[in-house]
Amino acid sequence: MFSEAEIAAAIRSLAEQIARDHAGEDVLLLGILKGAVHVLSDLARELDQIQPGPSRLYLDVMAVSSYGNASRSSGEVRLIQDTTHAIEGRRVVIVEDIIDNGLTLSYLNALLSARKPLSLRSAVLLDKPYRRIANVKADYVGLTCPDEFIVGYGLDYQERYRTLPYIAKLRPDIFSDPD
Ligand code: PRP
């Protein structure tokens, strides 16, 4: 669906947009485990190369889950692991691999804005806008994704395929969901 080169270009575009909006500022990049591991890593290193850009980058992660091993969201987002950095008074950019029904990002926005950050923005590599439930938009979007079940570059199917360097459509004969 998206090659390594297309992903790299999208990450570069996200980094440029974030750099423009945060030039001279300290920024906390907050990756949402587990899907955002590759995006966080590549985006942080790309952002570090851009001048002018953030004066200092801090990295943190939190883990939430709404899908478990199912291909459909449970509709309930659970906090599994919190940040180590305090959020109050910081410029925070949430980093996600994908926004689909929007419940995860909506949950994160509510949770983190209550902690009084100086600013709170969100960067997603992939926007899948077809099944949105929550009225939420990411501030920075890398790629718009077709309405397919996709895997790779952090995205999994029952914990498989996260380590693919590209993003692929899962073949329907492999994809069977008893849930
Ligand atoms: C995925 C993805 C996002 C979320 C987006 O996480 O990484 O966090 O779903 O979906 P939504 O917009 O429909 O809420 P998942 O819950 O599958 O956990 P994982 O990242 O550990 O795979």
Q: Tell me: the pLDDT tens digits for 28-49?
A: 999 999 999 999 999 999 999 9
Q: Is the CB of 99 under 6 A from ligand 1?
A: yes
Which domains does the chain show, CATH number per domain?
Answer: 4-147 (3.40.50.2020)
| Token pair in block for residue 156 | 């999994």
Residue 152 is given by DSSP the state: B
Q: Please name which of 162, 160, 139 lies closest in space to residue 152, comparing C-alpha atoms.
A: 162
| pLDDT surpassing 90 at residue 58 | yes
Mean pLDDT, the chain, integer:
93
Global pTM reads 0.94
Task: Determine which residue's CA is closest to atom 16 belonging to ligand 1.
Answer: 65
Q: Give me the active site residues, please.
A: 100
| pLDDT surpassing 80 at residue 2 | yes
| pLDDT value at residue 43 | 98
Distance from C-alpha of 97 to C-alpha of 157, rounded to nearest angstrom: 14
Task: Determine which residue's CA is closest to atom 3 belonging to ligand 1.
Answer: 98
Distance 98 CA to ligand 1 centre (A): 7
| pLDDT value at residue 90 | 98
CB distance 133 to 103 below 8 Å: yes
Distance 33 CA to ligand 1 centre (A): 8
Instruction: State the pLDDT confidence band at 177, using cuts at 50, 70 and 90.
Output: low
| Token pair in block for residue 179 | 């849930």
Q: Is the CB of 46 under 6 A from ligand 1?
A: no
Distance from C-alpha of 41 to C-alpha of 47, rounded to nearest angstrom: 10
Q: Tell me: the pLDDT tens digits for 65-124?
A: 887 666 666 678 999 999 999 999 999 999 999 999 999 999 999 999 999 999 999 999
| pLDDT value at residue 171 | 84
